[in-house]
Structure 1
Amino acid sequence: MVALESSGFHSNGYSLIRKILKDKEIDPTKDYGFGRPLVDLLLEPTRIYCHVVYPLIEKGLVKALSHVRGGGIVENTLRVTMGRGVKLFKEKIKTQEFMKFIIKEGNVSEEEAMRVFNMGVGMVITTNNEDRLLEELKNQNLDYDFYLVGKVV
């Protein structure tokens, strides 16, 4: 399972995010060291992956796709396994710093964060040829990260 980096929370957990901002009196117009105001990061449009994924489908490299939105990374990856399980490599997930800030400020447990948020993963591609898939993604010269994030068990 290969992760494509998200552009932000996408449509994940905004009710919880609004509650955290309100309860902790976090000013979303401040930068907090991220190089941009928090509000800009929170309102970043959802990244569209079709131009990346279609060539991979045409080459027969895609077994399943999980667009990680509502339900977080856990539920969305489980949906495509047809009853099989998923082993997520949690230590490899590259969560953006502003997401970590929201999670920490809101005192959100790891379990809840994994269930509610995409954790920085916008799309997961399930394949049976990870080396070739990773090479094809590398050849696309993407302006965002991709990496091995788990496997179907």
Structure 2
Amino acid sequence: MSIQAAAPVDPEDHAKVVAWFRDLSAHVRAVDFVAARPLFAEDFLAFGTFSDFVYGREHTEQNQWRRVWGTIDGFIFRLEEVKALVSPDRLFAVGLGIWDSTGYAPDGSPFDRRGRTTVSLAREAVGDPWVATHTHMSLFRGTPDVSHGHKPARS
């Protein structure tokens, strides 16, 4: 077997990767931290905006998500563009997505806040939903790295 980055992906596996991105988008827009938790392994590892590495879901929620989600609006991944790389055993995947959102300058004026995400995903059995084991989210160059919006958290 030769290694191919663009190897064919089972449509069901790809659809479940897209579902992960769709679900995360909805939770970010709703500022619903509790509902987002099952999308992530408890001990997942992230690259952070506010620290180099962020270890664990709880730490990431407190030190990343809660500092961003309530300051932006309209967060959504471009679901039709989500890419997936899936292991031959179909228990590990990498998902790649581009997002759009609205950020706010200190004076309240809106700006386009776009970026990209790479997420490693795992599951115990084929057909199960994917769970993130690692995420890397970054803004596109030139995008202000702080948004000053204020909306309450659902949870």
Give the TM-score normalised by structure 1: 0.27
Q: Which has the bigger relative contact order, CA under 8 A and spacing at least 6?
A: 1
